[in-house]
Structure 1
Amino acid sequence: MHRTSLDFRLWPMGVIFLAILLVAGCSEDNTPTQLTDEESEAVEPTAARTRSVVVYAASSNSQIGPVLEAYTTETGTKVNLVVDDYAKLVAKIERSGGGSVADLFIATNVGDLWHAVENDIYRPVYSTLVADQISENLRDAEKLWHALSIRARIFVVNTNLADAAQVATISDYGSLGDERWRGKLCLSSSSVQGNRSLIAYLIKSHGVRNAELIVRRWQANLATTIFDDDSELLQAVADGRCPIGIVDSNDLAMFTRDRPDAPLAAQWFAAGSPVYLDVTGAGVTRHAENPDGATALLEWLTSGQPNALFAVLGLEFPANPDAPVDVSIERWRRYVADPMSVSELGYFQEDAAKLAERAHYP
Structure 2
Amino acid sequence: MGIDVSRQILIVSGKAPGVGGEHVLCKISMLVPNGIDEIHLPPDTKAIRDLCFLPNGLALLASLGKKLSLFSVASNNVVLKYDLPGPAWSCSRDINSPYHIYAGLQNGMLLVFDVRQTAQPMNSIEGLSRQPVHTVHSIGLDNGAKRVLTASSLGPCTWENVAGSGRPTLLPEMENQGVCISLACGSSCNDIVASFRPKVELPSDSIASQTSLSPSPTLSNSGKLGSHVLMKRVDGSSFRRHEIGYGNVSELRMSKSAIICRDGKNPLFAYGDESTYGVCIWDLPSFQVHTRLKPHQHPILDLKYQRNSTGPGFLGCISEDRLQLFTCY
TM-score (norm 2): 0.30
TM-score by length of 1: 0.28
> Highest Rg: 1 or 2?
1
Higher helix residue share: 1
Q: Which has the higher contact order (CA 8 A, sep 6+)?
A: 1
